[in-house]
């Protein structure tokens, strides 16, 4: 299992604390330093069964500067969103947990983190 975190994020710290308390084996990716490529973002989106706009933090300053709220949310705009996430990783919702079964979850709640741990 891998968890994408921003150490300054309270939801990320809570997820790590829960993983540690449960003795889960995982690796940490500080995705603001180890920025995911467009292909990695596509892979995580496939694993999440979500679209890029579903994992975009639209209240971030960079999102407002880019005008993301006005961007189309359709297949023809998908690559544009993915490029924006790769160029501005702070826009990526966190924490993202890739589970051992090939799926992924957005681990913003204790239930979501437990769900990731339960996937074999």
The answer for residues whose C-beta is within 8 angstroms of residue 36's C-beta and 6 or more apart is: 4, 29, 44, 85, 86, 89, 92
Q: What are the residues facing 2 on neighbouring strands?
A: 27, 98
Cβ atoms of 3 and 107 within 8 Å: the answer is yes
User: Catalytic residue among 9, 35, 50, 112, which?
Assistant: 9
12: annotated active-site residue: no
Task: Tell me the catalytic residues.
Answer: 9
């Amino acid at each position: 299992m891998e968890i994408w975190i921003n150490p300054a994020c309270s939801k990320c710290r809570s997820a790590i604390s829960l993983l540690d308390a449960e003795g889960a084996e995982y690796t940490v990716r500080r995705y603001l330093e180890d920025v995911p490529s467009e292909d990695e973002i596509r892979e995580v989106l496939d694993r999440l069964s979500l679209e890029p706009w579903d994992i975009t933090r639209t209240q971030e300053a960079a999102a407002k500067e880019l005008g993301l709220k006005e961007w189309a949310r359709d297949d023809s705009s998908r690559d544009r969103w993915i490029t924006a996430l790769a160029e501005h990783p702070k826009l990526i919702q966190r924490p993202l947990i890739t589970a051992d079964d090939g799926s992924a979850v957005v681990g913003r709640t204790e239930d979501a983190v437990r769900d990731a741990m339960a996937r074999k």
